[in-house]
């Protein structure tokens, strides 16, 4: 008991430092005071004004469209890439090269990736005047880093599968398509869904890459919140931050539940 007490204190202290700012934002989102830190009573007025704000609504729609489309594309490509890396007999040097390329978007700072994408899109714009920064470019940019996370999660799921199931299906003369549809895909589905939720959350919360790539008609919620700092934070911004945080927590809990299912299967 006494040995575990210091570790428990450190753990709880870290949790408080992590979540206390979020709780403070949530508290101020239901405070009647528009300015200042004084508590003037409980109200849901700022949430009502939040949902009546057309600019915030447009930014929310842009964020959801961006996250949904990029997640679908990244999940399909990331799952196929994970299957290719895990189920193909690559030479060791080639496999290391592929793994390094896949891991780069995970470890590289967002600012460096954002600058690299700006240079890439500027080059594409020179090649074709049709290409413009905006929602299309944002989707491409988000897919570039989402693929890596989906691939890592699905590869982890594939590595945990019992190889005897594949051998049994081959012994029973199952075709590759039938084996994937009836054996492999149901087994990796929890990993695919977990990777998709992770990719969706990363896209929804991304600011740096979106800030560099977005156009006038593709402002997302993180960009709107950043722009609000110039005018001063309002209770509507606190309410918006609280809604985004709750939505992200729900997705994280769903991903954690799927991870438990994966571990128990």
Let me know if residue 162 belongs to a domain: yes
Which run of H or E residues covers position 257? Answer: helix 235-264
Phi, psi of 42, deg, nearest 5: -85, 140
Position 265 scores a pLDDT of 55
What is the domain count for the chain?
1
Let me know if residue 131 belongs to a domain: yes
pLDDT at 138 over 80: yes
115 contact partners, CB below 8 Å, separation of at least 6: 212
Confidence of residue 172 (pLDDT cuts 50, 70, 90): low
Structural domain including 234 reads 47-264
pTM of the predicted structure, to 2 decimals: 0.80
Let me know if residue 19 belongs to a domain: no
Highest mean pLDDT: which range of 63-72, 234-243, 249-258: 63-72
Tell which wins on pLDDT, 145 or 55: 145
pLDDT tens per residue across span 28-63: 888 887 776 777 888 888 888 888 888 888 888 888
Half-sphere exposure for 260 (CA within 13 Å, toward CB): 5
Give CA 41 to chain center in angstroms: 35
What's the residue count for the chain? 265
Position 151 scores a pLDDT of 93
pLDDT tens per residue across span 201-229: 889 888 898 988 887 788 888 888 888 77
Give CA 195 to chain center in angstroms: 9
Let me know if residue 42 belongs to a domain: no
Position 143 scores a pLDDT of 94
pLDDT tens per residue across span 146-165: 999 999 989 888 887 776 66
Tell which wins on pLDDT, 27 or 166: 27
Which run of H or E residues covers position 214? Answer: none
Are 151 and 164 in contact, with CB atoms under 8 Å apart? no
Mean pLDDT (whole number) for 182-208? 85
SS3 111: helix
Let me know if residue 147 belongs to a domain: yes
Mean pLDDT (whole number) for 182-186? 78
Percent of the chain with pLDDT over 90: 13
Give the chain's mean pLDDT. Answer: 81
- Residue 54, both tokens: 């057309």
Position 259 scores a pLDDT of 62
79 contact partners, CB below 8 Å, separation of at least 6: 150, 151, 154, 188, 192, 195
Angle in degrees, CA 195, 70, 228, rounded to 5: 105
Strands (E), 132-182: none
Radius of gyration of the chain (CA): 22
> For position 168, which CATH number holds?
1.10.3720.10
Tokens 């080059």: give the residue. Answer: 123
Q: DSSP assignment, residue 54?
A: H
How buried is 228 (Cβ within 10 angstroms: 0-12 exposed, 13-18 middle, 19+ buried)? Answer: middle
Let me know if residue 12 belongs to a domain: no
Let me know if residue 167 belongs to a domain: yes
Let me know if residue 73 belongs to a domain: yes
Mean pLDDT (whole number) for 120-134? 75
Q: How far apart are CA 209 and CA 160, in angstroms?
A: 33
pLDDT at 170 over 90: no
């Amino acid at each position: 008991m006494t040995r575990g007490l210091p570790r428990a204190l450190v753990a709880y202290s870290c949790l408080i430092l992590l979540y206390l700012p979020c709780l403070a934002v949530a508290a101020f989102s239901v405070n009647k005071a528009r300015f200042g830190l004084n508590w003037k009573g409980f109200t849901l007025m700022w949430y009502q004004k939040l949902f009546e704000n057309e600019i915030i609504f447009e930014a929310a729609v842009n964020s959801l469209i961006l996250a949904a489309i990029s997640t679908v594309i990244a999940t399909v490509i990331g799952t196929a890439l994970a299957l290719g890396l895990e189920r193909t007999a690559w030479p060791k040097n080639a496999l290391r090269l592929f793994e390094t390329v896949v891991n780069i978007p995970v470890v590289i700072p967002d600012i460096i990736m954002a600058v690299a994408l700006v240079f890439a899109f500027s080059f594409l714009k020179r090649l074709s005047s049709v290409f413009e920064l905006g929602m299309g470019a944002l989707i491409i940019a988000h897919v570039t880093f989402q693929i890596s996370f989906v691939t890592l999660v699905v590869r982890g799921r594939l590595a945990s599968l019992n190889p005897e199931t594949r051998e049994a299906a081959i012994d029973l003369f199952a075709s590759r398509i039938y084996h994937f549809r009836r054996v492999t895909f149901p087994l990796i589905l929890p990993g695919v869904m977990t990777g998709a939720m992770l990719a969706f959350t990363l896209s929804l919360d991304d600011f740096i890459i979106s800030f560099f790539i977005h156009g006038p008609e593709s402002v997302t919620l993180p960009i709107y919140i950043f722009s609000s700092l110039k005018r001063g934070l309002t209770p509507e911004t606190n309410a918006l931050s609280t809604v985004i945080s709750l939505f992200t927590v729900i997705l994280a809990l769903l991903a954690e539940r799927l991870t438990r299912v994966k571990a128990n299967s």
